[in-house]
Amino acid sequence: MGTLRHWRVRPSPSRTRNLQRTPGAH
């Protein structure tokens, strides 16, 4: 499932901000 995290961060940098907001994202 760790690959899904990288897959989401690569397509859009703006999504990285949303991931940081999520407690389980990091």
pLDDT tens by residue, 1-26: 566 665 666 666 666 566 566 665 55
* Helix, strand, coil distribution of the chain in percent, nearest 5: 65, 0, 35
What pLDDT is stored for residue 6 in this prediction? 59
Question: What is the pLDDT at residue 22?
Answer: 61
What was the pLDDT predicted at 20? 62
Domain boundaries, position 21:
1-26
pLDDT score, position 15: 61
- Tell me which DSSP letter residue 23 carries: T
Q: Which pLDDT does position 4 carry in this prediction?
A: 61
Structural domains in the chain (count): 1
Give the separation between CA 25 and CA 18, rounded to whole angstroms.
9
How distant is the alpha carbon of residue 4 from its chain centre? 8
